């Protein structure tokens, strides 16, 4: 018994030593991680003083965030931090910082934050659409599919060019018959028809009631993204549980999803697996291929959200750019005159413009690029999020930090542009008057999340713009004041309302 007791004591002593050693190693490891982490966080970007609970959210003007970020960058530098309640946010300003993040460290900054405020629309961690999808297998699957499918249906090809040219003809006819006054709605309907036909396989007459309702609902849905309230609901999501709040605050977003769901249900009734005529047909074909029990992003619920993403993104940015284009032609008649001269010289007035003309029209091409640069179409882009701990320009940025890219500060970076705060098409012309693309021209963002519809947008902008200028001279009506050159912010930066007189050439 005594021998057994000694053996038990030895085992107990040995086990105690092991526990002590294990505890010591654990403490040492935790201490090492803490010291390393503390050193890393000492290099976290600076920022304004944070208030308890609120953070720095009251210091941000959500109606003109890019202007607010420009001011903060003057005090804290091109990489600075904010605190939205308990969410860490880092804002990137200027070409070098944005390029280093989105291009040089593309994967580190490729994620998206989760947006609780979209849950009532059907978004969840297994059904994220395309644009705000988290970085991972589902996003790769949808991005790859969208790019290949849109290419199959003509993006970057002659077939789509002909379709856009035809739509440009309808737009010019509408301008002519209506004296050009409802310019915004006419442009939006023309651009909407292009993406609608790619997504759903049909186009509408501009006076079609169903089409007018669709365009209006999506336009109002974009406005619901503006201001402090959407950000508050995203950061304090339990407020969305209050009965009636989502229905009141996001009524048009809910209506847009319901409308697309209605369109898709009708589309399914005529769908044929042997006749794939649009994006929706191709997506439904992938849904049919999916084997039971296999986890995939190709579901009917996700199709609805992807379709909303495509239609919203494919309409709003090009519409906004073309509205700025008309405004700048009003405000800069000497630029409009030079564009007219180049159109007359290269295209004439007896045929429609085509994409081959672009190479022979350096001034017009420069004007279109300057409209995109100076107009600040998407001034801050959609938020990114760090996929892992990373460093940027000497600063430590931890995983899951929300990243805001101030694209406006890139397009007006004083170290890259000769006259950043003026409308100056010569930014894109060399000494011989030939077009030259500038590296700080990033209206479509950059890296893995750059706009997948860039080719479509470029084609639309050139063909719509040259078609309008081929047909019309735009002037401010005699009884109207000079239009304002600033704009309002709602995802895109849109010009304030103005009136035009479209005179046939």
Tens-digit pLDDT string for the chain (505 aa): 555 455 555 545 555 554 554 454 444 434 433 444 455 678 999 999 999 989 999 999 988 899 999 999 999 999 999 999 999 999 999 999 999 999 999 999 999 999 998 988 889 888 999 999 999 999 999 999 999 999 888 777 778 899 999 999 999 999 988 754 578 899 999 999 999 999 999 999 998 999 999 999 999 998 898 888 888 889 998 888 888 888 889 999 999 999 999 999 999 888 988 889 999 999 999 998 887 667 889 999 999 999 999 999 889 999 999 999 999 999 999 999 999 999 999 999 999 999 999 999 999 999 999 999 999 999 998 999 999 999 999 999 999 999 999 999 999 999 999 999 999 999 999 999 999 999 999 999 999 999 989 999 999 999 999 999 999 999 999 888 999 988 888 788 999 889 888 999 8
In a domain, 7, yes or no: no
State the total domains in the chain.
1
Give a yes or no: residue 76 inside a domain: yes
CB neighbours of residue 286 within 10 Å:
16
Q: Which residue has 């390029």 as its token pair? A: 99
> At 89, which helix (H) or strand (E)?
strand 87-93
Q: Residue 16: what pLDDT?
A: 56
And the tokens for 19?
A: 């526990």
Q: Give the number of other CB atoms < 10 A from CB of residue 338.
A: 16
Domain range enclosing 479: 41-504
Query: Packing angle between helix 251-269 and helix 209-223, nearest 10 degrees?
Result: 140
- Residue 36 inside a domain? The answer is no
pLDDT value of position 2: 56
Provide the pLDDT for residue 29: 39
Is there a contact between 330 and 475 (Cβ–Cβ < 8 Å)?
yes
Residue 20: what pLDDT?
58
Q: How far is CA 51 from the centre of its chain?
A: 30
Q: Quote the pLDDT of residue 31.
A: 43
Say if 332 falls within a structural domain: yes
In this structure, what CATH number is given to the domain that contains residue 363?
1.10.630.10
| Longest Cα–Cα distance in the chain | 115
Residue 3 falls inside a structural domain? no
Is residue 365 within 8 A of residue 372, CB to CB? The reply is no
The CA-based angle 388-84-66, given to 5 degrees, is 90
DSSP string, 5-20: HHHHHHHHHHHHHHHH
Which positions ≥6 away from 443 have C-beta within 8 Å?
372, 373, 377, 378, 407, 411
Is 451 annotated as contributing to ligand binding? yes
- Please give the Cα distance from 184 to 224 (Å, whole number): 19
21 is a domain residue: no
pLDDT at 390: 97
- Cα separation, 85 vs 69, whole angstroms: 18
The answer to the question of residue 112 being in a domain is yes
Please say whether the beta carbons of 429 and 362 come within 8 A.
yes
Domain membership of residue 407 (yes or no) is yes
Given a contact cutoff of 8 angstroms between Cβ atoms, the answer to whether 464 and 193 are in contact is: no
Whole-prediction pTM value? Answer: 0.90
Q: What is the pLDDT of residue 154?
A: 78
Stated length of the chain: 505
């Amino acid at each position: 018994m005594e021998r057994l007791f000694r053996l038990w004591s030895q085992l107990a002593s040995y086990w105690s030593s092991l526990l002590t050693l294990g505890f010591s190693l654990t403490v040492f490891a935790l201490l090492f991680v803490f010291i390393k982490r503390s050193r890393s966080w000492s290099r976290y970007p600076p920022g304004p003083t944070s208030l308890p609970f609120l953070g720095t959210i009251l210091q941000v003007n959500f109606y003109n965030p890019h202007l607010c970020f420009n001011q903060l960058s003057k005090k804290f530098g091109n990489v600075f931090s904010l605190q939205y309640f308990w969410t860490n946010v880092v804002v990137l300003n200027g070409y070098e910082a944005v390029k280093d993040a989105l291009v040089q460290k593309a994967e580190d900054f490729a994620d998206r934050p989760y947006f609780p405020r979209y849950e009532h629309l059907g978004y969840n961690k297994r059904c994220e659409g395309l644009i705000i999808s988290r970085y991972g297998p589902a996003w790769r699957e949808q991005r790859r599919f969208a790019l290949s499918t849109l290419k199959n249906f003509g993006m970057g090809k002659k077939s789509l060019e002909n379709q856009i040219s035809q739509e440009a003809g309808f737009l010019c006819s509408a301008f002519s018959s209506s004296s050009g006054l409802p310019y915004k709605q006419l442009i939006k309907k023309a651009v909407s028809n292009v993406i609608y036909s790619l997504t759903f396989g049909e186009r509408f007459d501009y006076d079609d009631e169903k089409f007018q309702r669709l365009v209006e609902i999506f336009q109002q849905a974009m406005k619901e993204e503006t201001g402090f309230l959407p950000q508050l609901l995203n950061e304090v999501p339990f407020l969305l549980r209050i009965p009636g709040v989502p229905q009141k605050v996001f009524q048009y977003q809910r209506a847009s999803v319901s409308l697309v769901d209605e369109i898709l249900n009708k589309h399914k009734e005529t769908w044929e697996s042997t006749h794939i005529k649009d994006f929706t047909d191709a997506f439904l074909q992938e849904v049919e291929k999916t084997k039971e029990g296999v986890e995939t992003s190709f579901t009917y619920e996700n199709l609805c959200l992807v379709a909303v993403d495509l239609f919203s993104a494919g309409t709003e940015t090009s519409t906004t750019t073309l509205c700025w284009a008309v405004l700048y032609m009003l405000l800069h008649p000497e630029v409009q005159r030079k564009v007219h001269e180049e159109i007359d010289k290269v295209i004439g007035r007896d045929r429609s413009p085509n994409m081959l003309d672009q190479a022979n029209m350096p001034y017009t091409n420069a004007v279109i690029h300057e409209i995109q640069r100076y107009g600040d179409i998407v001034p801050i882009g959609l938020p990114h999020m760090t996929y892992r701990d990373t460093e940027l320009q000497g600063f430590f940025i931890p995983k899951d930090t929300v990243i805001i890219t101030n694209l406006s500060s890139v397009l007006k970076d004083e170290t890259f542009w000769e006259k950043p705060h003026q409308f100056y098409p010569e930014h894109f012309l060399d000494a011989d008057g030939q077009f030259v693309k500038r590296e700080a021209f990033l209206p479509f963002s950059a890296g893995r999340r750059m706009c997948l519809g860039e080719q479509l947008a470029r084609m639309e902008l050139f063909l719509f713009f040259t078609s309008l200028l081929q047909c019309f001279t735009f002037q401010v009506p005699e009884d109207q004041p000079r239009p304002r050159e600033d704009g309002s912010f709602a995802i895109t930066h849109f010009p304030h309302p103005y009136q035009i007189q479209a005179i046939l050439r």
